[in-house]
Structure 1
Amino acid sequence: MVSAFTVVLTVAVPVAGWWCDRFGNRRMLVSAFALMVAADLAGSMAETVGMLVPVRGLQGLATSFIAPTVQKSLFVIWPDFRKRSLALWASALGIGQAVGPLAGGAISQTLGWRAVFIVHAVLCAAMLFLLLATLPRVVDRTVRTNVAGLLLLMAGTGGVVIGLTLFAQRTVSSAAIISGLLGSVLLVGFVWVAYQRPDDLIDPRQLIGRTFAGSAAGASAAMFAMGSFLVATPLFLSARLNTRPDVIGVILCCLAIAMSLGGPLTGVLCRKWATSVAMRLGLLVNLVAAAGMGLVLLLPTPLAITVAVTLLLTLAGFGISIVQSTSAEALAASPPGRSGFGIGIHNMLKFAGMAVAYAWIAAFPPGENPLLTYMGVAVGIAAVFVFVWLTGEAAPPSGGRRMWSRSRARRGSQKGPGEPDGGSCEPQSDLAT
């Protein structure tokens, strides 16, 4: 069921971003919550676990509408409060992570698992009417597209994500290899089509610009870290310490609470430092947390291990929040951030990080070898840290600063493909159109 949600979400989110451009943010968000209500009602009536698989797929489709549309709305409707709104957005993600599992567990224990779907449907319906009453409407634009390019992107992404999912099961390696290779070939086909028809899709050179590439890598690493910690930690605690489920829930809640509190902290950091510097700090924090999780078994007592895990997850929550906020800020500064399709591709790469996390934890469960599991997570985060470091050295956050790119003196007269002059992170004026 987790795989169905993740695969559909990752595959559909770029197209959802294009739909946001074509039909407008308000219409897309309302449609997303209406679809979520329908999926929840269907889930509440499911008779078997197998019937819940398509329900999770529908929920993934609805979520794919929400992610790029919310970001586009924040970029366009409140450009003067972008830093603050993105910090609040990151905090809201943390609040959802904190409240969701606890509320879901309490509801399922008292009212049954079907009630979880019903309560969620009621909340989504309330949000639907709230959006209709309050959300400003961004003017719809007539956007061109290339159907073949969109299909290549969706099929290629699906092939790669399914390949990762099959690889994690260890028993169908040939199918995993074929799916991954086929998906990679289709993604190369998308790049070729997009290069030939950039006005219909997106100029691929914009996707390798310093700002967008660093932003996408950071966002993917944040989701990779979050997915790894949320999935691996319960498995580790239950297998190695026989920790009760309610205690595990409280420990995981510390990560989510730290994510919600990390938004305001990110705002303070971005007033003092440039975006890439703050992002590197967040990645470094997650790197330390992952490495620490791999070493906690060296502690002498179960109580000491539990306390250390709680502190490390809290640290990781702050790091994830910092990286999420700064990657969204950098996305808004990049040329792809001016279109829903570009925002959708950014979210596709971000959620692919979560798919990689699920595959890694399934292939190397922490109950068997926690050192290997968490050190693998640390190595992945370290690789992104180095990449973000190499994508640009930001200047101090004073007047005329550049949020991401290296100075012209160091880069010469050339700029990255598709980057605005000077690497400014301010949104372009045509964002509001």
Structure 2
Amino acid sequence: MAPEEPGRAAYVVLLACTTLGTLSSTLITSPINQIADGLEAGPREIVFAVAAFTLAMVVAAPLAGWLCERLGPRRFLVASLGLMVAAGIGAALSPDLLTLVGMRALQGLACSAIPPAVQQTLGFFWVHNRARVMATWASAIGVGQALGPPIGGLVADLVGWRGVFVTHAALAGLLAVLLLRVVPAAPAGRPPMHVTGMLTLVVGAGGLVGALTVVGQGGALVTTLALAAVGLVGVLVHLMIARRSSRALVEPRLLREPRYFRSTVAAGSVMSILGMFIVATPLELGRGFGLSPGRIGAITVALAASMAIFAPVSSRIGERITPRRVMHAGLAVLVCTPLLVPPALALEGSTAPLVAAFAVLALSGCAIGAVQSVAALGAMRSPASRNGTAMGIHNMVRFSGLAAGYAWVALSYPTGHLMLVFAGPATLAALTLAVVLVGPPAAPVVDTAPTLGTGPGSPAVGT
């Protein structure tokens, strides 16, 4: 029997937490050049302040999924928002780039709690309306992308870049209070903890994403190879443990299930493409056109606003032509639109390039919102949705994609070849489309009431 749905206020607060999580990364994209100047950092170094946030989310995501199930989503989320407040104040007071990077990493650690906590709560209380709820969740991500650049640009123009972090800390504190007041607690579970399995998963993911980050920063080849080797060994050992141990965090069959696998690959890829857009575009608008943070935000808002608007529309389209076809169409669009950004910015005149870039970003945002919405629905309807760590792995892949996107920009943008920068997302979209086209559609599912905390060995009900 499905639990009674909470009121609209609870739904809005949960979606606002998702929006805040996105704001955590996008607030600094518009004033990124101002922050670099204030801390005397170059374009490659300042991207590390963005990447550190995502790297921390990747490393923490599997454990966050487990803790969310163990402690209960609301309790875990409130505690994480408290950490986010402290990290935001620390970022505002940062005297140098190293301190800012550390505070951004703490913010990322706190932010890793938001996706599993919100997804588990929405999935528990709104079980019979899951398709549209997940589409609205994806839309909330787009809202954060939309609000981040203009809010960050406006605050930076008015009071300087440090005020951006103070604003974010205040919003996190407000949401923590509202969560306690209006959102009911979904039940906690008793998922098993396999320490070796969790450790190897975290080391593996951290090593691989760390290698990507070091590459983007132009780090030493030896360091990059060492991190990649540690990450690869960690992942391989984790897979061996998962196959042989009855206490494994996640049964491998859950991760191989077609709906979960395709959704996770698509989610990670589209987040990588998003990361490339939201870092490369502000850098070029600031350094190539000399725009202020506020004007950069006014242009890049097209990407995220279209994500927010189109995600619910894609859900309705999916009801007519199937969600899988919506995902295929979105990825096909993303094969083309990144390659339109360089010629758009190369147009003659002072206004035409900006208008053309706005249009290309808007179309790209529609495609990203569609793929993100379908990927979220697919993950929540898979048998793996019953396992907190499996959903943590799904979010780990999403965050890893974002980190890979940032690393690509940090590596390619200093070459001065903008077409090379945007060939990255186009190529990734083509490869992802090829992956999700393979194989027949997954079996139909029926939404049923969830049972949290059953552990990886329990029967999973299709959702």
User: How high is the TM-score relative to the length of structure 2?
Assistant: 0.83
Give the direction of change, closer, same or farther, for the CA distance of 1:366–1:392 in structure 2 (3 Å limit): farther
- After the TM superposition, which residues 150-299 of structure 1 pair with which residues of structure 2 at under 5 Å, given as runs? 150-296=198-344, 299=347
- Name which of 149, 163, 166 aligns with 2:197: 149
CA shift at 1:232, angstroms? 1.2
In structure 1, what residue type is equivalent to 2:223?
A
Alpha-carbon distance in 2 for matches of 1:8, 1:349: 13
The C-alpha deviation readout for 1:67-89, integer Å capped at 9, x for no partner, is 11111111111111212221221
- After the TM superposition, which residues 15-414 of structure 1 pair with which residues of structure 2 at under 5 Å, given as runs? 15-296=63-344, 299-301=347-349, 303-365=351-413, 368-393=416-441, 405=442
SS at the partner of 2:372?
helix
CA shift at 1:257, angstroms? 0.9
Give the direction of change, closer, same or farther, for the CA distance of 1:135–1:252 in structure 2 (3 Å limit): same
The C-alpha deviation readout for 1:342-398, integer Å capped at 9, x for no partner, is 1110000111111111111111117711222212220111100111111433xxxxx
- Name which of 21, 32, 55 aligns with 1:7: 55
User: Structure 2, unaligned stretches of length 5 or more?
Assistant: 1-48, 455-463
The corresponding residue for 1:424 is 445
Work out whether residues 345 and 357 of structure 2, in 8 Å CA contact, stay in contact via their aligned partners in 1.
Answer: no
The C-alpha deviation readout for 1:204-236, integer Å capped at 9, x for no partner, is 122122111100011012101110111111233
CA shift at 1:264, angstroms? 2.1
In structure 2, what residue type is equivalent to 1:384?
T
Work out whether residues 56 and 109 of structure 2, in 8 Å CA contact, stay in contact via their aligned partners in 1.
Answer: yes
In structure 2, what residue type is equivalent to 1:203?
E
Give the direction of change, closer, same or farther, for the CA distance of 1:43–1:243 in structure 2 (3 Å limit): closer
Work out whether residues 315 and 323 of structure 2, in 8 Å CA contact, stay in contact via their aligned partners in 1.
Answer: no
CA shift at 1:280, angstroms? 1.2
User: Structure 1, unaligned stretches of length 5 or more?
Assistant: 394-404, 406-421
Give the direction of change, closer, same or farther, for the CA distance of 1:342–1:307 in structure 2 (3 Å limit): same
SS at the partner of 1:430?
coil
Q: Report runs of 4+ in structure 1 exceeding 6 Å deviation.
A: none
RMSD (CA atoms): 2.0
Work out whether residues 156 and 182 of structure 1, in 8 Å CA contact, stay in contact via their aligned partners in 2.
Answer: yes
CA shift at 1:247, angstroms? 2.9
Alpha-carbon distance in 2 for matches of 1:122, 1:197: 45
In structure 1, what residue type is equivalent to 2:102?
P
The corresponding residue for 1:408 is none
Give the direction of change, closer, same or farther, for the CA distance of 1:127–1:156 in structure 2 (3 Å limit): same
CA shift at 1:270, angstroms? 1.8
Alpha-carbon distance in 2 for matches of 1:425, 1:215: 18
CA shift at 1:144, angstroms? 0.8
CA shift at 1:338, angstroms? 1.4
Work out whether residues 204 and 233 of structure 2, in 8 Å CA contact, stay in contact via their aligned partners in 1.
Answer: yes
CA shift at 1:117, angstroms? 2.6
Work out whether residues 332 and 426 of structure 1, in 8 Å CA contact, stay in contact via their aligned partners in 2.
Answer: no
Alpha-carbon distance in 2 for matches of 1:324, 1:333: 14
Give the direction of change, closer, same or farther, for the CA distance of 1:299–1:125 in structure 2 (3 Å limit): closer
In structure 2, what residue type is equivalent to 1:117?
F
Corresponding residue pairs, total: 406
Give the direction of change, closer, same or farther, for the CA distance of 1:261–1:359 in structure 2 (3 Å limit): same
> Percent same amino acid at aligned positions?
35
Range that drifts further, 93-102 or 154-163: 93-102
Work out whether residues 345 and 356 of structure 2, in 8 Å CA contact, stay in contact via their aligned partners in 1.
Answer: no
SS at the partner of 1:67?
helix
Alpha-carbon distance in 2 for matches of 1:53, 1:171: 16
CA shift at 1:326, angstroms? 0.5
CA shift at 1:296, angstroms? 3.3
SS at the partner of 1:46?
coil
Give the direction of change, closer, same or farther, for the CA distance of 1:106–1:296 in structure 2 (3 Å limit): closer
The corresponding residue for 1:414 is none
Give the direction of change, closer, same or farther, for the CA distance of 1:53–1:432 in structure 2 (3 Å limit): closer
Range that drifts further, 283-292 or 17-26: 283-292
Give the direction of change, closer, same or farther, for the CA distance of 1:425–1:54 in structure 2 (3 Å limit): farther
SS at the partner of 2:298?
helix
Work out whether residues 336 and 342 of structure 1, in 8 Å CA contact, stay in contact via their aligned partners in 2.
Answer: yes
In structure 1, what residue type is equivalent to 2:155?
I
SS at the partner of 1:162?
helix
Range that drifts further, 229-238 or 187-196: 229-238
In structure 2, what residue type is equivalent to 1:273?
I
Range that drifts further, 296-305 or 272-281: 296-305
Alpha-carbon distance in 2 for matches of 1:12, 1:391: 32
In structure 1, what residue type is equivalent to 2:93?
M
